[in-house]
Amino acid sequence: MLAASEKAFIELFNTVEDPRDDDKTLHSLSEILFLAIAGVLSCAESWREMVKYGRMNIDFLRQYFPYEHGIPSKSLLSRVFGSIDKRSMEKFLIEFAAWFYKNDDEEIIALDGKRIRGSGVHLLHALATKCGIVLAQIDINNKTNESTAIPAVLELLNIEGAVVTADALNCQKSIAQTIIDKGGNYFLSLKGNQGTLFTEAQSYFVDRTKEHGRIEVRKCWSTDDIEWLILGHSGWKNLKSICCIERERCIKGVSRIETAFYISSTKASASKHLNYSRQHWGVESMHWVLDLVFNEDRSTISAKNAAQNMAIVRKLVLNMIKRYKAATGDQTAIKTMRKVSSWSSAEAAKVLSFMATN
């Protein structure tokens, strides 16, 4: 197992460029990356905890890499992760996800940003909602940069045949154009930032929904009878349908109704459009897992590129766990699976094996 595993992981890590002078290193970059991945899998969340994990499990780690000079110090971990080119790590995540992500059966890819409060870093994520795999993470500095970053992210992904969803901030002609040019379809939330496109779509559905007197938890209307709308908004490539979704929430006896509008390059289908809307919330769920299970929002790791690069490590571990659960049918919660990995090296090895390409 040793040689094969070491070789497999070295091949995985080759995408990441070592920022250090080779003549002055006691620990290979592969050893440092593997320690971080195995540590995060086993609930380590700070440099100090990763070092502690490594020292307590060095025999297990040496089944993969030699660690001839022992476990790297917390200052070395901070320095190396702060120096690694974040674009190199972003590329690593994209390539890693691509090795086992299968874009079939009309996959839904949700795009959304997330801010890590502890470090102030703002990241853009692409999530394949059906399999739960994070396809990409890009550092964008702040929320307002999402719209300019999305076309660049889409160029790196295989979205052919997929439906790409995004919030109203990213309902932009350039994004729709990129999605269509890449062979995908879009389902974009529509709000007032699109001016008359929003008001005209809203007016169409308000007139229709007034005819319905019954109250439901969730209602959806979809139409492709929009030649009148396309004529006035010709810049939206392949615009085929619009959608209205009404959600009623009842909290402590108080009902609240929210109405959302969408534009899409897909044919009108209330059931499909409702599903696209619900699947988009998968990226919000992923953000919740990162904050509540991996404590990402509380992480104060911030030296240079360290916050962005450690965020990649968390996505790698999350993808690895998702892949393991899908392949084995294991229904254990992610939080529990991380704890079990910290208790048992044998269990950790099972999950780590799903980071290999074969």
pLDDT range class, residue 2, cuts 50, 70, 90: very low
pLDDT, position 352: 93
Residue 211 has pLDDT above 50, yes or no: no
Maximum separation of any 2 CA atoms in the chain, in Å: 76
Residue 213 has pLDDT above 80, yes or no: no
pLDDT digits (tens, 9 = 90+) for 140-182: 976 667 888 999 899 999 999 999 999 999 999 999 999 999 9
> Which DSSP symbol is given to 299?
-
pLDDT range class, residue 217, cuts 50, 70, 90: low
Query: Can you tell me the mean pLDDT for 302-307?
Result: 92
pLDDT digits (tens, 9 = 90+) for 229-246: 999 999 999 999 999 998
Exposure on the CB side of residue 73, measured as CA atoms within 13 A: 5
pLDDT, position 299: 94
pLDDT range class, residue 209, cuts 50, 70, 90: very low
pLDDT, position 9: 73
Poorest-confidence range of 15-29, 51-65, 275-289? 15-29
Q: What percent of the chain has pLDDT over 90?
A: 73
Where do the structural domains in the chain lie, given as residue ranges?
A: 2-88+307-355
Q: Going by C-beta distance under 8 Å and a sequence separation of 6 or more, which residues neighbour residue 246?
A: 209, 216, 218, 219, 220, 257, 258, 259
Q: Which ranges in 211-269 belong to alpha helices (H)? A: 227-232
Query: Can you tell me the mean pLDDT for 257-279?
Result: 94
pLDDT range class, residue 6, cuts 50, 70, 90: low
3-state SS, 300-356, equals CCCCCCHHHHHHHHHHHHHHHHHHHHHHHCCCCCHHHHHHHHHHCHHHHHHHHHHHC
pLDDT digits (tens, 9 = 90+) for 55-85: 999 999 999 999 999 999 999 999 999 999 9
Exposure on the CB side of residue 193, measured as CA atoms within 13 A: 12
pLDDT, position 356: 67
Of residues 7 and 255, more confidence is placed in 255
Q: Is the dihedral of CA 193, 196, 201, 204 positive or negative?
A: positive
pLDDT, position 208: 45
pLDDT digits (tens, 9 = 90+) for 78-124: 999 999 999 999 999 998 898 878 777 689 999 999 999 988 999 99
> Which DSSP symbol is given to 256?
E
